[in-house]
Amino acid sequence: SAGFGLTNVGPTPIKATKAEDFLVGKTLDEAQIRQAAQLAAEEAQPGSDLRGPAEYKVSMVRELTKLSGNDE
């Protein structure tokens, strides 16, 4: 099973269910992780503020999700 919780990229914490559901029953490889990261980023709902623009926060969700699937 897979679980992705997103915080500080929406009005409340977000459970990235599309990314989780996508990974069920799959063997993790780079392509699967990249797709799950994209799905998680699409579920983020950040606003722009003094910590950064919304686009930057979405890109961070994508990159950090990719890293979470890396065993190294």
Please state, in angstroms and as integers, the Cα–Cα distance from residue 43 to each residue in 12, 27, 35, following that order.
12, 22, 13
- Position 7 scores a pLDDT of 95
Residue 24 near residue 72 (C-beta atoms within 8 A): no
Whether residue 72 has pLDDT greater than 70: no
Number of domains in the chain: 1
pTM across the whole model: 0.88
Each residue of 9-58: pLDDT tens digit?
999 999 999 999 999 999 889 999 999 999 999 999 999 999 999 999 99
- Cα 35 to Cα 22: distance, rounded to the nearest angstrom: 8
pLDDT tier, 71 (very low <50, low <70, confident <90, very high otherwise): low
Tokens of 54: 């919304």
Residue 18: give the domain boundaries: 5-68
CATH classification at residue 20 = 3.30.390.50
Would you place residue 68 in the very low, low, confident or very high pLDDT band (cuts 50, 70, 90)? confident
